[in-house]
Amino acid sequence: MEVSTRTHYLNQLFSYERKTEIADSKLEIIPFRFVQTIGALEIESFQEELSEADFFPVSDNLILENKSFTYMVFNPLGRVKSDQAIILLHGLNERTWEKYLTWAEYLVITTGKPVILFPIAFHMNRSPRSWSDPREASSWVIQRKLEVLDLCNSTFANVALSCRISKNPLRFYASGRESVYNLWQLVHDIKSGVHPLFKEDTSINLFAYSIGAFLSQVLLLANPGNLFTDSRLFMFCGGSIFSEMDGRARDIMDKEAFERMEYYFTHSFIERTSIPETFKNDFLEHAFKAMIRPDILKLFRENFFEKASDRIRAVSLKQDTVIPTTGVSLALGRAACKILKEIDFPFSYSHQVPFPMRGKVNPVEVNQAFASVFNQAASFL
């Protein structure tokens, strides 16, 4: 597969509004509507506690795009119902599925399983369009630079997330918790035979990138409804303990917001200070806390990954500074030797762009790197 050309082609076909046929690979991309029900009232009460960001003075619980949205399924053309599926989870602060379209297509072709592109809360099409509009967001950058002294890495691409997290870092947890509830609901519907594409008791595995991997680890640790007991998880550029991540980047989060979030969760959240009473201290919070610092709930976390080591794989990149290999090792503990593999590519890449399509790179090398990662993922999933 020629990654650059294929990505451009699939991006032109992609639409949230209609079913699209990919004739040459005998696939179709099908939109499905999702309206959250599991945990909806609890999430709404959480969101009411969060202070509004100045640039967008609307309470999180009133952002309708986040409550009712479209997710996409790459499905073998003509397939009526499947008994296996892969859920693909994306990275932090992403507003478009563009780079993931080739990932999904390749996984469907090589595994024969439908791939579900599911958006994390307040990401992709689950947020107002203005958050990713360069013209509107640029004015917010100007204002943020006036408010924060010596602000680093503030751009139109990260200003919405940065402002929201800076105003209240608890949003990171609340949104993650909401996403766990959403995945719980999706998988429950699929396994119950309610979903039109899948048979009852469908086997569901996960391909997770970046913060999607962190979400997946929490999901498997919590195992809501015992729905993920047998699920396999393949993590790419993800899987680090939270305290070792570095989200200070022009397309992720500015320096002030990330450092504020990092301190909040590694200290205040663990000590449970300044947390509204509506935020439950339950099995989901327990799973999340286990992924914050290496010393917190270490035995619980490491025992889980040891027991689940036959159904989890992780590939990290040597030059990845956002999710470093050391952070993934700390999360996995003694199971890292069974689960984790660090690789490197012979071209310049980054966490955000592991397979560059522009600049001075050899497309043959990029295509080979892409195939090496996704062949591993496909054979495992």
The pLDDT assigned to 276 comes to: 78
Answer whether residue 288 shows pLDDT above 90: yes
Residue with tokens 């004015």: 139
Answer whether residue 274 shows pLDDT above 80: no
Pair 213, 89: CB distance under 8 Å: yes
The pLDDT assigned to 141 comes to: 87
Retrieve residue 139's tokens: 């004015």
pTM of the model: 0.96
pLDDT per residue over 120-130, tens digit each?
Answer: 999 999 999 99
Binned at pLDDT 50, 70 and 90, residue 137 comes out as confident
Answer whether residue 79 shows pLDDT above 90: no
Q: What order of strands is seen across the sheet that includes strand 68-76?
A: 20-22, 27-35, 68-76, 115-117, 82-89, 198-209, 233-236, 312-317, 340-343
Answer whether residue 311 shows pLDDT above 80: yes
Q: What is the C-alpha to C-alpha distance for residues 188 and 200, in angstroms, rounded to an integer?
A: 10
pLDDT per residue over 312-358, tens digit each?
Answer: 999 999 999 999 999 999 999 999 999 999 999 999 999 999 999 88
The pLDDT assigned to 108 comes to: 98
The pLDDT assigned to 302 comes to: 97
Pair 330, 241: CB distance under 8 Å: yes
Q: Which of 53-57, 88-92, 272-276, 372-376 comes out lowest in average pLDDT?
A: 272-276
Mean pLDDT along residues 150-161: 89
Pair 323, 354: CB distance under 8 Å: no
The pLDDT assigned to 53 comes to: 87
Query: Would you give the DSSP letter of residue 249?
Result: B
Residue 85, Cβ density class (10 Å: 0-12 exposed, 13-18 middle, ≥19 buried): buried
Torsion over CA: 190, 193, 199, 202 (sign): positive
The pLDDT assigned to 275 comes to: 77
Number of neighbouring beta carbons within 10 Å of residue 70: 17
* pLDDT, averaged across the chain: 95
